[in-house]
Amino acid sequence: MPIWPDGVDITKLNDTQLVKQADVVMLMLLLGEEFDYETKKINYEYYQKRTMHKSSLGPSMYAIMGLKVGDYKNAYYSFLRSANVDLVDNQGNTKEGLHAASAGGTWQVAVFGFGGLYVDKEGALNINPWLPEKWRKLSYQIYWKGNLLQINIVKDSVDVKILESNGKKIKVKIKGKDFEVN
C-alpha cells in the first residue's frame, strides 16, 4: 500500500483527484445523522475509487460506510484489509510498531459495522446487524449508561444481556423494534 491506479504518474500527483485517506467518509460516519443515505452513498462511491489508504485507518472507515450504503462485498474486503494491516504487514511497516488506529478501526467495523451498533438522535441504543456469509456469530460487550451489556448476534437473532447492572431498565432498539432489557 498504497496501490496506485494504472496510468497514474506519481510525479504529478497534484494533477489528480486522488486523496491520501478517508477524511470525507470518516466525517460522514462521525456526523452520520447529518447526512442522508443518498449523500453517503454518492460520496462513498466517489471517494472509494480515489482514496489511496496511506493511513491504516482508511480501510476500516470504508468498511463501516460500505455496510451502511449496502456495498457488503467491498465492506468485507475493506474489513479484511484493516484486520491484516499488522497480521500480514500489508503496508510494509509493521516492524516500526503496531498500527493502533487500524486495530481500533477493525474493532469498530466489528461492533459498529457488522454488529450494527449506533446511537440515534434521541440517544437510544440501536442494534441493526449484518453478518458476513461465512460468520455464524458475533459477540461483543459494551458499557451503556452504567451497565455492562453482552450482545450476541446470530444470523436471525440478537440477544442482549446485562452482565453488570446499575439497577435501571434499559431500552434498546433491535432492527427498529423497541425492547426493554432487565
Both 124 and 110 in a single domain? Answer: no
pLDDT digits (tens, 9 = 90+) for 116-126: 999 988 889 99
- 24-28, 73-77, 170-174 — which is least confidently predicted? 24-28
Q: How confident is the model at residue 141 (pLDDT cuts 50, 70, 90)?
A: very high
Considering 89, 114, 139, which residue would you say is the last residue of a domain? Answer: 114
Q: Answer with the one of 81, 114, 147 that is the final residue of a domain.
A: 114
156: domain CATH number is 2.60.420.10
In this structure, are 7 and 66 located in the same domain?
Answer: yes
Q: What is the pLDDT of residue 4?
A: 58
Residues 6 or more apart whose CB falls under 8 angstroms from that of 23 comprise none
Range of the domain at 126: 115-182
Q: Which residues, in sequence order, are bridge partners of residue 148? A: 143, 164
d(CA 110, CA 138): 8
Number of domains forming the structure of the chain: 2
User: Same domain, yes or no, for 7 and 97?
Assistant: yes
Based on the domain organization, do 109 and 32 belong to the same domain? yes
142-164 tens-digit pLDDT = 999 999 999 999 988 999 999 99
